[in-house]
Amino acid sequence: MKLIVIGGVAAGMSAASKLKRVNKGAEIVVYERGSFLSYGACGLPYYVSGENDDYKKMIARTKEQFEKLGITIHLRHEAIKVVPEKKQVLIRDLNNQRVFIDSYDKLMISTGTIPIVPPFSGAQLRNIHVLKTLEDGIRLKEVTTLKDIRDVVIVGGGYIGIEVAEAMVRQEKRVRIIELSDRILKTFDAEITNPAEQELVKQGVQLNLNEKVEGFIGEERVEMVKTDKGTYQADLVLLSIGVRPATKFLEGSGIQLAKNGAIIIDREMRTNIPDIYAAGDCALVYHKVLEENAYIPLGTNANKCGRIAGTNIAGNHIKYVGTLGSAAIKVFNLELGRTGMSEHEAKNLTIDYTTVFVTSTDHPAYYPDATPIWIKLICEKRTRRILGAQAIGNKGVVLRIDIFAVAIHNQMTADELGMTDLCYAPPFAGVWDAVHIACNAVK
C-alpha cells in the first residue's frame, strides 16, 4: 500500500507515523509546502518573545528522523490538484517550479490553514507580517530585534494577536491592538474577556475595539495604519485576523467541502471519496457536546485525529470520540481556559440552560499568596449536566478547566462533580476547591 500525505506538520505526520508503526511495509510519501516538519506552531509567540531561544526546540521530529523510519519526505513541495478517479496528485516543486504527478492507494490531506489577509491598501509594504508557520516566526523574530522597530500594531484580538502583544511588550515595544469586534478572544464569554482586556491595558497595551483597519501608509515599509477612526504610527504590523482552511487546490476534485472550505469528514477521518482521508486544521471535527461537526483549528485535535487517520488507513475503523474545544491562553499575569460549550453556542442551539459565575481562590487565604479564580459554568437546566466551563485567574486556572473537560467528556452533572473527591492541602486547594464551589452554586 502506498500512502501520500499532503501536509507534514501535525495531523499528517501523526498519520504517517501511526501507519508506519502498524504497517511497517507501507510506502509513505509526504509532500510539505514549508521547510520544516512536525513542529509546535503554538510555540511561535514564545520564540518571538525570546522565552524560547532556539526555534529547533519546537520541532518534534526532523526530516532525517522520519526518513530513518522509512518515510519519504519532500519539503517545499505543494499539491496543486487531486484527481481521485485516477488516484493521482499533481505536485509542484517550489525549488525549481517543476510539476509532476504522483499516484496513491490512499491519500491523507492535512494542509492546515492559511492566514486571512484582506486586500488592504498598502498591504505590500515591508514589515507587515503574519504568524502561521515556523518560517513566519523566524522572520518576525529577526525583524523585532532591529532597534528601529518601536511601534507595533497588531490587527486582530484572537489568540495569536494577544500572545504576540505580550511578546512585543516583553521586548519593550509600544503595542497597539486593533480589533473589529467589541471585545477580544471571542471564543470566551464576556465575563472572562473583560478582566483580560483590563490586564492588557494595565500592561501598557493600547486596545482599540470596534475599529476597522482600512489600509497601511508608507514609502517602502509600513509607517502608519489607517482605520475608520484614526491613523496610528507603526514600524511593524502583525495581521492576525484569522485563518481559513488551505483547501483551494481541492476545488473541482469532488471532495466535499464546508462553506468555509474545510473538508467534511466522518468520525473515522474519511472524506466522501473512498481512500481519501483528512484531519487537522483543514478539516471539520466532531464536537462531543454539540454532537455535530464544527471548525475548531487546534493542535490537540490535529494530533489526535491524525493518529486515528493513520490507524484507519491501515484498515481499522476507530471513531474519534469528539473534541470539546478545550483551549487556554496566557495574558500577562492571567491564565484563561475554556472547554465545552459557550453561552453564545447554547443560545444559538436554543438549549434550555443555566449559568453561574463565581469567585473563589486557588488555595485558602490563610496560606500565603492566594489569588482569585473566576469560573463560569454553562449547564443544562433540567439535568444540571455540565455543558461548558470557562475560567480566569492568576494561577491554577487551566488545570481546573481540565477537570471540567473530563467531567463534560463523561457527561457529569454539576451535582456529581461538586461532590467529587479532589485533593486538599492548603498550599494547593481548599477543602472545597474552586471547582466544587462553582458546581455547588448551580441552581
CB 368 within 8 A of CB 357: no
- Most distant CA pair in the chain, distance: 71
**Contact between 82 and 7 (Cβ < 8 Å):** no
C-beta of residue 351 within 8 angstroms of C-beta of residue 344: no
E-assigned strand segments in 219-322: 222-227, 231-233, 236-239, 243-245, 276-278, 285-287, 292-294
User: Residue 247: CB partners within 8 Å, gap ≥ 6?
Assistant: 109, 111, 257, 261, 262, 263, 282
Q: Which helix (H) or strand (E) holds 194?
A: helix 190-202
- The residue from 42, 282, 423, 439 that is catalytic is 42
Q: Which cell numbers hold the place of 7?
A: 501536509
DSSP assignments along 293-344, one per residue: EE----HHHHHHHHHHHHHHHTT--PPP--B---EEEEETTEEEEEEE--HH
Q: Name residues whose C-beta falls within 8 Å of residue 348's C-beta, 6 or more positions apart in sequence.
A: none
Q: What angle do CA 4, 8, 9 make, to 5 degrees?
A: 155
Radius of gyration for the alpha carbons in the chain, expressed in angstroms and rounded = 23
Active site residue 305: no
Contacts of 220-223 with C-beta under 8 Å, sequence gap 24+, read 220/125, 220/126, 221/125, 221/126, 221/127, 222/122, 222/125, 222/126, 222/127, 222/128
Cβ count near 146 (within 10 Å): 11
H or E segment to which residue 14 belongs: helix 11-22
Helices (H) and strands (E) in the chain, counts: 11, 25
Helix 299-313 crosses helix 11-22 at what angle (to 10 degrees)? 30
What residues are labeled active site?
42
